[in-house]
Structure 1
Amino acid sequence: MTTSKKGSTNFAFIMITILFFMWGFVHNLDPILIPHLKRAFSLTTLQASLVDSAVFIAYFVVALPAGFLLKKKGYKAGIILGLMLFALGSYLFIPSANLQSYTFFLVALFIIACGLTILETAANPYASLLGPPEKATQRLNLAQSFNGLAATLAPIVGARIILTEGLPEEKLALMTPDARQLALAAEAATVKMPYFILGSVILILAVIFFFMKLPEIKEEDKATQGSSLAVFRHKHLNWAIAAQFFYVGAQVCIFSFFILYATHATGISEIKAAEYAGFGVGMAFMVGRFVGTFFMKFVKPPVLLAIYAVLCMTLSISAMYITGLASIYIVIGIAFFMSIMFPTIFSLGIKELGEDTKLGSSFIIMSIVGGAILPLIFGHVSDLYGNIQLGYIVPAFCFFVILIFAVHGHKVSTVKK
């Protein structure tokens, strides 16, 4: 690959890292939105879970077109388009709240997620390739560490701005239908200002990227002409797609249901649970990425991934049965050890793909649809047994699949025609 001089490369990496923070921030507002919208629109748990579905289905729908866009127009064009959609979806939260339409909220979330899909399809391989190949996994984990910083800050900020203490249910029950509707509309309106600010920040970033000179990386031309399905001749890519499907599913189960899990297992309030989500789970996720990046100087990424997968499996099984504050500390431990998984799986999956890198990245991003599917299984298991803690059997199985990838599936293997 070819890049411009080092200073330009370093600035490009800093700007890409900002993108990791921004999409991590908006993703980690979703666990706040779920209980907030559930109350504001008097939703069932299943209806509230459509927040995750609206977000992660977009990854399945948009990732492949995003890959073709990157292949034809390059990384910069993809980043700018992704930021524009991100900003548009954020601004749509204002009419969604004004119209008191849950469907409109879901549409806005879907548009945001379309933008995030393009950004992730571009930024993950770009950060991985922007430097020496032997440090690709370490570099991507460093960038993803700021995604972890966002996971710490978003629940804390969101809980204080969005998840406000509304009127008690007993008072709402005594109101007339119109008065109740007005009270809940006022609660729903708390999302307008934070998403307006978010959209404005993203729009500014889009302008900066438009005018900046972003080094374009040229992958080695190793691919042959033919169907895009030819990318599946890379066996390690296929394994990475499967591993990422289960990893994202596990992460969404753990993050999105954390407030419900914590209130059930410990009896604490939602706002207190949101604080644990930020200062505990989010902080552990962030620190885990920095620590994991450091460890990769001494331990090969697949080995560290395997060790962490075993630890996450063990902790997930423990989370099914242990109650009290200990249950929260267990989930904090899972967040710490799963923190390196997404970037590590991603970088190992696109290793030595050559010109197939952008398309291969698209398929790995498509597998993020696991975040729309596996939480439904988590919720079904929880409802079936009347205990949300038993839903942790789903993340436990996910980490088992990741263990197989770390031990065997990551090995570079390409079927020759």
Structure 2
Amino acid sequence: MSDAERAPSKQQPSLAAAFASVTTLFFAWGLITSLVDPLVAAVKSIFTLSNLEAQLSAFAFFIAYGVFSIPAAMLVARLKSVWSVVLAICLMIVACLIIMGAADIDTYEGVLCGLFVMASGITILQVAANPLAAALGPPEKSHFRLTFSQAFNALGTVVGPLVGAHLLLDGIEVPEGEVLTETVRAGALGSIDFAFLIISFLLAALAIFIWSSRKKIKAGDVSETGAMGFAQTLKEVRSSKWALLGGAAIFLYVGSEVAIGTQMALFLNDDAIWSMSLQQAGYYVSFYWFGAMVGRFLGSALLLRIRAPVLMAAATACAALLCLFVLVVGGVPAGYAALAIGLFNSIMFPVIFSITLERSSAAQEATSGFLCMSIIGGAFLPLMAGSIADAAGYVMAFIVPLAGYVLLHVFAQMAMRSTVVAADDHDVSAIH
């Protein structure tokens, strides 16, 4: 056998090892992103916040997507994948240190600053890791690799609330109108310190792991990464109706999903719903994300038989009806209905992404960048939900995602009636 014939067989184990290294990144950012849900419930009690003030945690995290998506793409284009990934992880470690310092000096503003820095690192990580997952192997299997890696991202979002509830929500529940005792409060701040200390060590180990695998990753990465600036991106998308509609849809979807997830523990803890301890409620939040993980696998199979806009129309209708059920029925059944929404959220992000790329007349690069920027919806809609929860309770706060899913259903209906203007098979280059 010639050297040329032996080369592919030697390369395959190397590519598999590189792909396994990159897949760990998907799990890591899924876990850290979903920690925001129990953290919102924790800081509400620790710092005696209103629901609106507590939702600033989600705001600080998701606003980074709008600020850093395009700069992150430009950074990755300049530094290439491995250096960008290591830089992103280092930035996330710095964020952990900021949050730990904020817990030590007892300042909520410091926690918000740390969350912003954390999300900035995750944004760079996403921009770098998604093309890597697609590139590390035979081109004909790129869709499988990206879906497989995203499944580990979904697994991280299931594990995150379990870890967060255990570390952040133990013993911090207080009746409405009361505050934590100084002893309990100090212990709760110490728990935040401990949780992010663990995360920083794990991130450091991950950075070392990725760096040690850099030669394998670089050898397999044959993708070419380009990036547009803000002005060029906005100029492109402004001329495309579907790029703008897709951006609005991503804004509404992420905002609705996060508005539910970040208040889920407080919602289930409410006497009008399940009236369980805050920590127990925090554990149940993982079922919301577990539904999204299961739905992603089921949705992948269904998309082989059903047109993407049709499946999205069905999913958004079901999610809207579940929100309406929560508003009208309330009580214990509303808790189950709220958790079930995660199942129907599952396919929305990638389907919105692909629907938009197929129909946008703007450059694919500009459309993709604008859609990633639109994840900023996770910063604003939770604030609206928190404000309504302060004024009328957690049940009424579901009017925000209800409106979001109704508008997303309209988007799906429009897509069903529209024509595909780009026939190319686009990869989904980001996932929430």
Q: TM-score, normalised by structure 2?
A: 0.82
Task: Report the more deviating stretch, 251-260 or 344-353.
Answer: 344-353
Kept in 1, the 8 Å contact 2:250–2:349? The answer is: yes
Kept in 2, the 8 Å contact 1:220–1:354? The answer is: no
CA distance 1:23–1:218, change in 2 (3 Å) = closer
Q: 1:337 aligns with which of 340, 344, 356?
A: 344
Q: Does 1:282 align with 2:289?
A: yes
The equivalences for 1:56-71 within 5 A come to 56-71=62-77
The equivalences for 1:162-181 within 5 A come to 162-166=168-172, 180-181=181-182
Q: In the alignment, what sits opposite 2:265? A: 259
CA distance in 1, matches of 2:113, 2:327: 34
Q: Does 1:293 align with 2:300?
A: yes
Q: In the alignment, what sits opposite 1:237? A: 243
Post-superposition CA distance 1:336-371 (Å, at most 9, x none): 111122233334445699995555433222111101
CA distance 1:399–1:142, change in 2 (3 Å) = farther
CA distance in 1, matches of 2:52, 2:107: 17
The equivalences for 1:363-378 within 5 A come to 363-378=370-385
Deviation at 1:66, TM superposition (A): 0.8
CA distance 1:89–1:358, change in 2 (3 Å) = farther
Deviation at 1:169, TM superposition (A): 6.3
Q: Secondary structure at the match of 2:328?
A: coil
Q: CA RMSD in A?
A: 3.3
Q: Does 1:49 align with 2:20?
A: no
CA distance 1:132–1:412, change in 2 (3 Å) = farther
Q: Does 1:320 align with 2:321?
A: no
Q: Does 1:227 align with 2:228?
A: no
Counterpart amino acid of 1:287? Answer: V
Q: In the alignment, what sits opposite 2:221? A: 216
Q: Secondary structure at the match of 1:161?
A: helix
CA distance 1:76–1:93, change in 2 (3 Å) = same
Q: Does 1:194 align with 2:210?
A: no
Overall identity of the aligned pairs, in %: 31
Q: 2:276 aligns with which of 268, 276, 283?
A: 268
Q: In the alignment, what sits opposite 2:4? A: none
Q: Secondary structure at the match of 1:321?
A: helix
Counterpart amino acid of 2:168? Answer: I
Q: In the alignment, what sits opposite 2:35? A: 29
CA distance 1:399–1:168, change in 2 (3 Å) = closer
CA distance 1:105–1:220, change in 2 (3 Å) = closer
- Structure 1: where are the runs of 5+ without partners? none
Q: Secondary structure at the match of 1:266?
A: coil
Q: 1:121 aligns with which of 114, 117, 127?
A: 127
CA distance 1:238–1:80, change in 2 (3 Å) = farther
Kept in 1, the 8 Å contact 2:250–2:352? The answer is: yes
Deviation at 1:307, TM superposition (A): 1.9
CA distance 1:381–1:357, change in 2 (3 Å) = same
Q: In the alignment, what sits opposite 2:206? A: 205
Q: Does 1:380 align with 2:387?
A: yes
Aligned residues: 401
Q: Secondary structure at the match of 2:245?
A: helix
Kept in 1, the 8 Å contact 2:50–2:390? The answer is: no
Kept in 2, the 8 Å contact 1:140–1:343? The answer is: no
Counterpart amino acid of 1:229? Answer: L
CA distance 1:113–1:253, change in 2 (3 Å) = same
Q: Does 1:311 align with 2:318?
A: yes
Task: Report the more deviating stretch, 119-128 or 262-271.
Answer: 119-128
Deviation at 1:30, TM superposition (A): 1.3
Deviation at 1:51, TM superposition (A): 0.6
Q: Secondary structure at the match of 1:337?
A: helix
Q: Secondary structure at the match of 1:92?
A: helix
Q: Secondary structure at the match of 1:237?
A: helix
Q: Does 1:160 align with 2:166?
A: yes
Q: TM-score, normalised by structure 1?
A: 0.84
Counterpart amino acid of 2:322? Answer: L
Counterpart amino acid of 1:190? Answer: S
Q: Does 1:94 align with 2:94?
A: no
CA distance in 1, matches of 2:362, 2:81: 14
- Structure 2: where are the runs of 5+ without partners? 1-7, 423-432
CA distance 1:166–1:401, change in 2 (3 Å) = closer
